[in-house]
């Protein structure tokens, strides 16, 4: 169905080695952030970019956005000139003429984004507002998974374990606390988790124990693959719904969760707040994207309801719904 296009950007002088993947543009320009980390090799970096770009395609389609999916990854091992590297990446993004709209992601700093912005207008440089949108959207998905009656329902008494207290994890925690939830939080860096726990009157838990906490919802908000064969076996929550991308290490993990009666809310839904805000502002010109964020409640209720009723993977239901929307758009385009 999809024919992703891969772009390799290399600059020996600065140490830049990066990929930009345009997965699908049926619904509109490809949207996706820039991830920066030290990959084992460029093949691993490309594989991550391809998987993340496909997730963005599904994410935008499920959110009802006029956008497709893309992703940038930087394989960074401490090159000579990081500022120049991201300026070079920004120039490449600009050469695509608006086909790729980007922002920050794991490992990419605001300084990096500002360097890109010197050479392109197609980069969102503020991460706090995007993270807040992820938090609000993720909590809307939690409400739907809990079968609460509407998007404004309080979550008083709901216990949520948030893994990761970075920008996204903190935003999810704040949104959940504002909705009335009781919080347990953890991060590998106690200097980050401690102040957030104090701010939100949350219980601080050891990082290696947060996923096995006795709660209603586990919210992975750090690096992908947090829920794998080992950690899934230790889960005591009844719902997994977080702000991270690619939360499960593989589709077989969802089978293991289903066998135990644990519902997974696909992260193409639960982490979609950032792209909803970014596309809503940049493409649709909306000053207020709250209606789009509220729509996530209805879409999640549809996906998890179909999964429960048909004893199917929620991930498969979400993928089929997204691809059906894209195919319908292609049919409309073909008939014009």
CATH number at residue 136: 3.40.50.720
Q: Burial of 98 by CB count in 10 Å (0-12 exposed, 13-18 middle, 19+ buried)?
A: middle
> Does one domain contain both 82 and 22?
yes
Does 21 reside within a domain? yes
What is the rounded distance in angstroms from the CA atom of residue 246 to the CA atom of residue 243?
A: 10
Assign 301 to helix, strand or coil. Answer: helix
> Does one domain contain both 94 and 165?
no
Beta bridge partners of 100: 30
Tell me the residue length of the chain: 336
Assign 224 to helix, strand or coil. Answer: coil
pLDDT at residue 309, as a whole number: 87
> Does one domain contain both 182 and 111?
no
> Does one domain contain both 86 and 180?
no
What is the rounded distance in angstroms from the CA atom of residue 54 to the CA atom of residue 70?
A: 7
Does 12 reside within a domain? yes
> Does one domain contain both 193 and 248?
yes
Does 23 reside within a domain? yes
> Does one domain contain both 154 and 274?
yes
Q: What is the largest CA-CA distance in the chain?
A: 58
What is the pTM for the complete model shown?
0.90
Does 335 reside within a domain? no
Does 332 reside within a domain? no
Beta bridge partners of 5: 22
The structure tokens listed for 46 are: 């490309």
> Does one domain contain both 283 and 222?
yes
Among residues 125, 150, 168, which one ends one of the domains? 125
Ordered alpha helix ranges (H), the chain: 42-62, 82-95, 110-117, 128-145, 167-178, 190-200, 229-234, 251-259, 267-270, 273-282, 290-310, 314-335
> Does one domain contain both 19 and 86?
yes
Number of domains in the chain: 2
Chain position carrying tokens 């940049």: 282
Among 54, 58, 59, 71, the one annotated catalytic = 71
Task: Per residue of the chain (336 residues), give pLDDT as tens.
Answer: 678 999 999 999 999 999 999 999 999 999 999 999 999 999 999 999 999 999 999 999 999 999 999 999 999 998 889 999 999 999 999 999 999 999 988 889 999 999 999 999 999 988 778 899 999 999 999 999 999 999 989 999 999 999 999 999 999 999 999 999 999 999 999 999 999 999 999 999 999 999 999 999 999 999 888 999 999 999 999 999 999 988 999 889 999 999 999 999 999 999 999 999 988 887 788 888 888 999 999 999 999 999 988 888 999 999 999 999 999 988 887 765
> Does one domain contain both 113 and 182?
no
The structure tokens listed for 81 are: 């000139």
Quote helix, strand, coil % in the chain, to nearest 5: 45, 15, 35
Does 329 reside within a domain? no
Domain containing 93: what range?
A: 5-59+69-125
pLDDT at residue 335, as a whole number: 63
Does 184 reside within a domain? yes
**Whether 59 is catalytic:** no
Q: Are 235 and 257 in contact (CB under 8 A)?
A: yes
Q: Which residues contact 319 (CB under 8 A, 6 or more apart)?
A: 58, 268
CATH number of 77's domain: 3.40.50.10860
Distance linking the first and last C-alpha atoms of the chain: 20
> Does one domain contain both 30 and 102?
yes
Does 86 reside within a domain? yes
> Does one domain contain both 211 and 157?
yes
> Does one domain contain both 140 and 213?
yes
């Amino acid at each position: 169905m999809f024919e992703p296009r891969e772009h390799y950007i290399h600059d020996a002088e600065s140490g830049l080695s990066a990929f930009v993947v345009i997965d699908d543009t049926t619904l509109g320009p490809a949207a996706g952030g820039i991830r920066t980390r030290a990959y084992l090799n460029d093949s691993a970096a490309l594989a991550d970019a391809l998987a993340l770009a496909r997730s963005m395609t599904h994410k935008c389609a499920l959110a009802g956005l006029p956008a497709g999916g893309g992703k940038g990854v930087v394989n960074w091992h401490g090159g000579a000139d990081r500022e120049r590297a991201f300026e070079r990446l920004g120039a490449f993004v600009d050469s695509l003429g608006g086909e790729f709209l980007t922002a920050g992601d794991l490992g990419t700093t605001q300084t990096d984004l500002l360097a890109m912005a010197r050479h392109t207008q197609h980069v969102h440089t503020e991460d706090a507002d995007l993270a807040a949108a992820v938090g609000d959207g993720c909590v809307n998905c939690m409400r739907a998974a809990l079968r609460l009656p509407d998007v404004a329902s309080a979550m008083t008494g709901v216990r949520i374990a948030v893994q990761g207290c970075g920008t996204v994890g903190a935003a999810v925690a704040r949104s959940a606390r504002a909705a009335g939830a009781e919080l347990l939080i953890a991060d590998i860096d106690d200097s980050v988790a401690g102040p957030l726990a104090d701010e939100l009157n949350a219980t601080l838990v050891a990082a290696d124990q947060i996923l096995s906490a006795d709660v209603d919802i586990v919210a992975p908000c750090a690096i992908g693959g947090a829920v794998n064969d080992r950690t899934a076996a230790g889960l005591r929550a009844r719902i997994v719904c977080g702000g991270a991308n690619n939360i499960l290490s593989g589709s077989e993990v969802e089978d293991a969760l289903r066998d135990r009666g644990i519902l997974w809310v696909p992260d193409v839904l639960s982490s979609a707040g950032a792209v909803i805000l970014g596309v809503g502002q940049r493409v649709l010109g909306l000053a207020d994207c709250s209606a789009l964020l509220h729509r996530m409640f209805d879409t999640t209720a549809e996906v998890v309801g179909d999964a429960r009723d048909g004893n199917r993977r929620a991930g498969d239901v979400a993928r089929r719904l997204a691809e059906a929307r894209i195919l319908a758009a292609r049919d409309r385009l073909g008939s014009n």
